[in-house]
């Protein structure tokens, strides 16, 4: 028998959301099925939002942050200003 018994489990699920559209459904699914989440990643394009106003991205980030549990990092992995 070995002195140390190590069990390794690594499950990677990469889901990237455009326009933060499915984040709440994703979080609910993962929570309901007891699947751990390490972070949430999304991206936004100004061409996806109308009308565009000054500070629109700050507003979107604030709204999205409210969907993601505070213990999870929220990453904006891409931004394109058109």
Mean pLDDT of 51-62: 82
Mean pLDDT of 58-71: 89
How many CB atoms are located within 10 Å of the residue 17 CB? 17
Reply yes or no on whether the pLDDT at 4 is more than 80: no
**Which ranges of the chain does DSSP label H, i.e. alpha helix?**
23-32, 56-67
Reply yes or no on whether the pLDDT at 71 is more than 80: yes
pLDDT tens digit sequence for 28-50? 988 998 888 888 888 877 777 77
Indicate the pLDDT class of residue 65, thresholds 50, 70 and 90. Answer: very high
Report DSSP state, residue 72.
S
């Amino acid at each position: 028998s070995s002195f140390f018994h190590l069990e390794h489990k690594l499950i990677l699920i990469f889901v990237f959301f455009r326009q933060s559209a499915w984040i709440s459904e994703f979080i609910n699914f993962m929570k309901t099925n007891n699947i751990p989440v390490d972070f949430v990643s999304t991206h936004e394009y100004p061409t996806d939002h109308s009308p565009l106003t000054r500070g629109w991205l700050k507003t979107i980030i604030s709204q999205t942050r409210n969907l993601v549990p505070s213990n999870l990092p929220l990453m904006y992995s891409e931004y394109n200003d058109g």
